[in-house]
Structures are given as C-alpha cells and as structure tokens.
Amino acid sequence: MEPKEVIIEDVSAVVKRLSVTLPQAEVEKELAKTYRQLARNVKIKGFRPGKAPRFVLERQYGPRINQDVASRLINESWPAAIKDRDLEPVVQPTIEEQHFEPGQDFSYTARIEVKPPIDLEDLSGLDVEPPEVKVSEAMVDEQIERLRDSQASLAPLDEDRPVRAGDWVTINYRILVDGQALEGGQVENHDLEVGAGRFNETVEAKLVGAARNQASSVEVDFPEDHPEPRLAGKRAVFEITVVDIRQKILPPLDDDLAKSLPVEADTLEALREKIAEDLRERERQKAEDEVRRTVLDKLHQRVEFELPPSLVTAEIETMIDSIKQRLAQAGADPRAAGFNEDNLRQEFRPTAEAKLKDQLLLAHIAAQNNITATPEDETGELEKMAARYDQSVALLREIYTKNQLLDGLRTRIVDRKTLKFLTSGANISDSEAAKAADEKSGGKLGTRGPVEEKTDA
C-alpha cells in the first residue's frame, strides 16, 4: 500500500521518526472489506446472515474493527514507507502514535532504528605482521599426557605414605567464618585430585603431606567478588580430615593407549601426527583471530559510528542468557551465586558494543566490495564440519536448515572472506602465505625438534 506522504525526522544517526499518512480512499476500502467479512461471520438479531447493515455493525464492533484495520494498514504500508529511502531497519518499528478516524486520512508515527552510516573509503595501509605459528614436540607431549591422564585408573596405595600431588583423596571438611560453622559448609566423603586446582588451591596445598585419618585446618582468604556472598571478602577456616588416599595409575604410553582413545589412530605415532595437526589448526585459528583483531582495531581508529540501542540491548541480554544457561546446566542457583542482572548489564555493555562494531564494520566492507557466501563456500564449510564430527554433509545441512542456522554460517563465511580481503592488502608477503599453504597441504611434524610455520591469516 503506497502512502500519501512520508516525513522523516532524524532523531540521531541510527534513530529515525517517520510520520506516515495514508489516503482516506485506502482506509475506506479496508474498512468496507472488513465489515463485509464481519457481516458474513456474526449473528445479529433481526437480520439474516450477511444482511446486517454496516451502521449496525459499527455500533457493536466499531472500536475493535478500527483497531484491527489500523494495525493492518500499518503492516501493509510500512514496507512502502521505507522503500527507496535509504533506510535499513535493524528492528521492528515502534508505533508511537496513530490517528484513525473513519472518513479521514489515516496517519501514524513510527520510531525505527537503522544501520549506522559508516564513512570508510580508504582500506590501504593496514600493515599487519602475521604471528608465527609454532607447534613443538613439547606441545604434542603435553596433549598426549592429558589424554593419558584421562585414561588413568585409581588404586589403593601400595605403601603407607602421606598425600602427594596428583593423588586422589577423600576428605571430610567444614567451613568456619568468624569462628562459626557456615550453614551448608559441612561436607563428608568429598573426592578431589590434589594439585589439580579444581577445589581450592590453598586447601589442596595443605593436603600435600597429610596422612590418612589426620585432621588439620587451613585459613583461606576469599576475594571480594566471590560468588558466595557469605564468603566474599572473608577469611574462612577449613577443618579437614583425610579419609582415604588413592594413587593414579597411568596406562603405558604405547599403541594400545592410542587405540583406546576417541581419536582415529591405531598407533602411538599416528596419534602424535593427529594431535600435531589438531594443534596446528588451533594455532592457525589463534593467529587468524589475532590478525582479525589487529586489523579491526586499526579500522576502528579510522571511523566512528553510532550503534542502534536495541542491538546493544539484545546483545547484552544474549550474554546474560548464556550465563543463566551455564549456571542451570551446572545445577547452580543464580541467586545463591550472587547473580545480579543489572550489574552484569553495565559490565557487559563495553564488550557488547565492541562486538557489534566489529560485526557492522565487517558487514559494511563486505557489502561495499560485493563479498558474499557462495553455495560452494557453504558446502565447503559443511564438508569441513562433517569431517571433523564424522557426520554426513547431508545430515549437517538438514540440521542447519531445520534449526535456521544457515544464515549464521553464511555470516561467518563472509566475515572470514572479508578479513582475507582486508589482509590481502595488508603487506602480508607472498612467501609467508606460501609457507603456510605448503605446510597445510603436506607438512608433517617429525619425531624430533619443533616445527615452525607462518600463517596466511
């Protein structure tokens, strides 16, 4: 539906107020159609179905009909009101006021938020030194030891000795604050790995050297921002008794270990190669992220733009919802954990704004340079994920389509292509890019010495 008049008021660079007027003839046409439909569907005493005159219907249903027609007129006219006016709304409009009177033009005022204008023409001189990507034997060894540790078993001590770092102990403990036992702070038969840092580092350090059935106490200072309000900023005493000590038995470092792991490797050497390639991919991703951050920071120094308030609010709420979900999955009560949404909104705002600026800036550059995600890009990305998760491409595409995830996938593809476009002119030398490409296609980690590479991130 074409408006009779559209007046645009600039509230700010990203907030506009539109005053839209629709001609009386269009209003009357919509009213007449609505009353005809109503007459066919309602029963009015003294009239046959479909024969009740409009003025009778107006007396009984007028206000409701006027409201329904006004809503439809707004929805049908809104696309035409912004068409060809260089406006890209980022959220649905907010209707601030409307004037609906049968027999007159219909007018309404809508507030919209639009994509910010970004004045960035010069993309030259983005000098970026790509970080070196290194994968060493020590890094591979560390990963193998972690996998080996995950396959360890626990066994009773074969000697009468005190606790050592790496042992698993069963303890009883209670927590005292200001000399008083903390309610809910008394626990029996709690298992923990000493030195793993998953309980409390001070307590774990105290346990080293303790004997079975030995009681001890240790003071622990809790930080001001500790999630348990009763412990935040307090000094507490842990009274501990070691109930049992078990030692960790690591499996032999051999081919059988490789076969037992959820990794496609039949030998220890194949396991090392698989881990090395995974590490190379991880380091390449880190390098790419570092280059991305450097390039974006340089671009932000060249251009300032306002953010649509609704987008910032939505991003903050997404971050808060994510924390809520993690707490729920961990079985934690947000209130008991000191979860304060108002404080988090203030804390998250700078991060949310920075993330949105990155997204809008990359989207702007992509649009200016016709960078898109082609069907081949999309299929290639799905093939990579299919290989990583041992799934078929068809199944992944079905999952992504069913859950409406394809748009997000395409956005990630465009972001990466835009980053490559930006860094292709950022003085990253061909020789460095060639090294990374050669390594990615065939370079392997030997059994001795570090492997170093350059990335074309």
What is the pLDDT tens value at each position of the chain, 457 positions in all?
889 999 999 999 999 999 999 999 999 999 999 998 898 888 888 888 778 888 889 888 999 999 999 999 999 999 999 988 888 999 999 999 999 988 899 999 999 999 999 988 778 777 777 788 889 999 999 999 999 988 888 999 888 899 999 999 999 999 999 989 988 889 999 999 999 888 999 999 999 999 999 899 999 999 887 878 888 899 999 999 999 999 989 999 899 888 888 777 889 999 999 899 889 988 988 888 888 888 889 888 889 999 999 999 999 999 999 988 887 777 766 666 667 888 889 999 999 999 999 999 999 999 989 999 999 999 999 998 888 777 899 999 999 999 999 999 999 999 989 988 887 754 444 334 434 444 444 444 333 233 334 334 3
Q: Are residues 301 and 438 in the same domain?
A: yes
Determine, yes or no, domain membership for 261: no
Whether residue 257 is contained in a domain is answered as no
Name the percent of the chain in helix, strand, coil, to the closest 5.
45, 20, 35
Is the domain of 244 the same as that of 275? Answer: no
Same domain, 23 and 72: yes
Yes or no: say if 432 and 454 are a contact pair by the CB < 8 Å rule. yes
Count of other CB atoms within 10 angstroms of residue 191: 13
Instruction: Judge if 409 and 275 occupy the same domain.
Output: yes
CATH of the domain at 363: 1.10.3120.10
What one-letter code names the amino acid at 46?
A: G
405 and 282 together in one domain: yes
Same domain, yes or no: 333 and 366 = yes
Distance CA 23, CA 101 (A): 12
Question: Are 292 and 438 found together in one domain?
Answer: yes
Q: Is the residue at 347 inside a domain?
A: yes
Residue 117 DSSP code: P
Bridge partners for 215 per DSSP: 241
- Residue 213 lies in domain: 153-249
**432 and 340, same structural domain?**
yes
One domain, residues 93 and 230 = no
Domain boundary among 64, 98, 113: 113
| Structural domains in the chain (count) | 3
* Domain CATH number, residue 36: 3.30.70.1050
pTM assigned to the model: 0.67
Out of 113, 139, 166, a domain closes at 113
